[in-house]
Amino acid sequence: MDYTIIQYPALPSAYSPQKPGRRIDMIVMHSTGGVKTGDLWTLSGRDRRHLVSIHYYITKIGEIYQLVQDKDVAWHAGVSFWQGENDVNRFSIGIELENLNNGRDPYPQPQIDAALWLVRNKVQQYKIPRSRLVRHAQVALPPGRKSDPRAFPWDSFIGQVYTDIQPGPPPPPAPPPPANTVLRTALIDAAYRRARHVYHPDWALHQFAFQQRVGPPLIPPFRFKAEGRDWVAEVYGVDAICSPVGAWTDIRRLSQLPDGELKNVLRSQTYQALGATYHSDWAFHQYADGNPIGVPVTETFRLTLGSGETYTAQIFSLETLITPYGQWDVIFPLSNLLDAPELEARDVELRDTLLTRQYQRIGAKYHPEWAMHQAANKLGLGAPLSHQEQIEMGVQDYVAQSYARDVAYSPVGDWGTVKLLNDLS
């Protein structure tokens, strides 16, 4: 039986062109965890909360939809590794099956038959070996992050796909990903998850963020309009970045934008998204415009020391600014107190009060005796963005905490050893 492939084009903003020099040689099978109407909306890039896409989608009654052309890169596998290579999206076709992926929702025979027809055709078209027809659960990093397509009759399906297809030589066993690759992936994935976002290694914005070391993300991406165009912005601990919709390799940093509409709108939207309001006439914000102190993570607040002295402060991602209340033109940064070899009792109280407020902002507690908190101060990692979280790796587990400039982590039990994500090769 032949099938008609129904075209349901994804938005151009939901996939990227295939780079020259690498052919398709892999198929990844998925199940959606949803139903047709919502699945097609999401997988075509129309659900702005989830920028994912797929080449083919197969319904329970056996309809086959094509959303992304084979020649283009769909965003379906996410953080992934197979047979020595990262970023499986670059050289694979993604096929989604309509299924709740709970282990109980069945895959009806018409759906299996349609999947068999499509996969057999693609296997023959691209000469895909048996070892490179895989489930999403097999390639996702860190291992165990994905389970789809759960309860799909995989072994019998594979056997039918390759019936009467000339087998190639047996492939060499797939090497496990390097330990550093798995750890780095787990740390990045956790940092994006804390920001209610998803890391996509094939997104130009995420590649730029990692290469330029702009720190972990703070919030989900958002859209705005400026200069007659639609833009997507992402806010990181070191800087906010943006790109025109559809022109993903044209990436701008807020700190490097010339004065004008784009800078004004992005700055205002960034402050607003972080719960602050930009005031061009405020001394704090003028200072922030002229110095690399990141983005605001609080509004201004007042604090009073035991002596009765009152200050106004605002926490930015890379620095905290302080001024004696009412003396708005007298601004000094918290880093001055951290770097000073000796401090008066008043300054020690001010320093510790501000550090405590940084951690209280995220619902955590500042522990000056903890090696990770000491390292964050010494290395100038900026404001903490998350609680400490255990990263389970099997043989050796880690505890990680995101800061504005980097993610710090320690092996469980070896608390005196503090390392940084950016140092992982």
Could you give the CA distance from residue 193 to residue 176 in angstroms, rounded to a whole number? 24
Q: Which of 269, 300, 266 is nearest to 283 (CA)?
A: 300
**Contact partners, residue 327, CB within 8 Å, separation at least 6:** none
Residue 128 token pair = 């895909």
Number of H helices, E strands in the chain: 11, 22
Q: For the chain, how long is the longest CA-to-CA vector?
A: 86
Q: What angle do CA 234, 14, 223 make, to 5 degrees?
A: 35
Could you give the CA distance from residue 83 to residue 94 in angstroms, rounded to a whole number? 17
Residue type, 34: G
**77 neighbors 88 (Cβ within 8 angstroms):** yes
Write phi, then psi, for 370 (nearest 5 degrees): -80, 135
Residue 370 token pair = 């903890």
Residue 414 token pair = 């070896």
Residue 415 token pair = 């608390």
Establish whether 96 is a catalytic residue.
Answer: yes
* First-to-final CA distance of the chain: 50
Write phi, then psi, for 229 (nearest 5 degrees): -130, 160
**240 neighbors 229 (Cβ within 8 angstroms):** no
**DSSP state, 169?**
P
Helix residue ranges, H only, 84-140: 109-126, 136-139
- The H-or-E segment that residue 252 falls in is strand 252-253
The string of DSSP letters for 277-323 reads: ---TT-HHHHHHHHS----BSS--EEEE-TTS-EEEEEEBSS-EEEE
User: Coil, helix or strand for 179?
Assistant: helix
Q: Looking at 96, 98, 234, 319, which residue is catalytic?
A: 96
Residue 13 token pair = 């903003």
Residue 30 token pair = 């998925």
Write phi, then psi, for 26 (nearest 5 degrees): -155, 150
Active-site residue set: 96
